[in-house]
Structure 1
C-alpha cells in the first residue's frame, strides 16, 4: 500500500488542503516515526512542534519517495521539488508543502537545504555504487 503522503504526490489535489489538515498530516507522519521525534517533542515548546513536524515531514517524504514510491521516483522527486518551489512563489497543493510554506514564511527559511536534500535523493536513484566514501 502506498503511504498517503506519497499517494497525494502521485495524484495532486486540484486545490490545496487547509493549513490545519496539512499540519495534521505532518504530525501524523512524525508520530509514525516516533523514534526520530520523541526527544524533540519533549524539548521543544508546543507552539514549535507543528513547524518541526513540517520540516520533518518534508524530509520523510523525500526519503520515502526514494525508498518506497512506485513508478518513476526521479519524476516524483521532481514533482515534489516543484511543489517546494511553489511554497516560495505560488500555491502548493501537497499537504506537506502547504504546512511547510507557513513554516518557511514564519522563520524565513531558505530553499537551499530542502533543494539539496531532494537532489541528494535524486543522485541516490541514479548512482548505486560509489568508488570511495
Structure 2
C-alpha cells in the first residue's frame, strides 16, 4: 500500500506502457526478436509520455511531474512539463535521465 501522493516504484512507467494494450495495432509484435521489442517499447514509452503531457492525460497524482523535477504547483502546466521533459530527454544523451521511461530509452539510443 502506498501513502497519499506517493507511487510505487515502476507504477508510473508501467501505467504508461500498459496503454499499448489499448492501441489499434500491436506495438511490439511477437514475431520481432526480443531485443527489438525491448527497443520498440522504449521508443513507445517516450512517444506515449510526450503525447500524454501534450494532451494533459498524465496519470493523476503528479508522479510524472515529480519524476521530471516539476513542482506540484506547476504540475498541471503542460508547457512547464514539456520543458522539463525536453531537459530530461537531453540527459538521455549526456547523463542520467530522471524519468524511468527515458532511462529505458538510453540503451536504444
Query: Normalising to structure 2: TM-score of the pair?
Result: 0.63
Q: Does residue 96 of the first structure (1) align with residue 96 of the second (2)?
A: no
SS of the residue 1:53 aligns to: helix
Query: In the alignment, which residue of structure 2 is the partner of 1:32?
Result: 19
SS of the residue 1:33 aligns to: helix
Query: In the alignment, which residue of structure 1 is the partner of 2:29?
Result: 41
Contact kept in structure 2, 1:31 and 1:37, CA below 8 Å? no
Measure the CA separation in 1 of the matches of 2:27 and 2:88.
29
Query: Normalising to structure 1: TM-score of the pair?
Result: 0.53
Query: Residues 50-73 of structure 1, C-alpha deviation per residue, up to 9 Å, x if partnerless?
Result: 111010010000110011245110
Contact kept in structure 2, 1:30 and 1:37, CA below 8 Å? no
Question: Rg: which structure is higher?
Answer: 1
Q: CA RMSD for the aligned pairs? A: 3.0
Q: Which runs of 5+ in 1 are unaligned?
A: 1-6, 9-16, 105-133
Label 1:87 to 1:76 Cα distance change in 2 as closer, same or farther (>3 A).
Answer: same
Measure the CA separation in 1 of the matches of 2:98 and 2:45.
15
**Number of residue pairs matched by the alignment:** 85
Q: Does residue 86 of the first structure (1) align with residue 74 of the second (2)?
A: no
**Which of 46, 50, 58 is 1:62 aligned to?**
50
Q: Displaced runs of 4+ in structure 1, greater than 6 A? A: none
Contact kept in structure 2, 1:87 and 1:100, CA below 8 Å? yes
- Which protein has greater RCO, CA pairs closer than 8 Å, 6+ apart? 1
Structure in which a larger fraction of residues adopt helix: 1
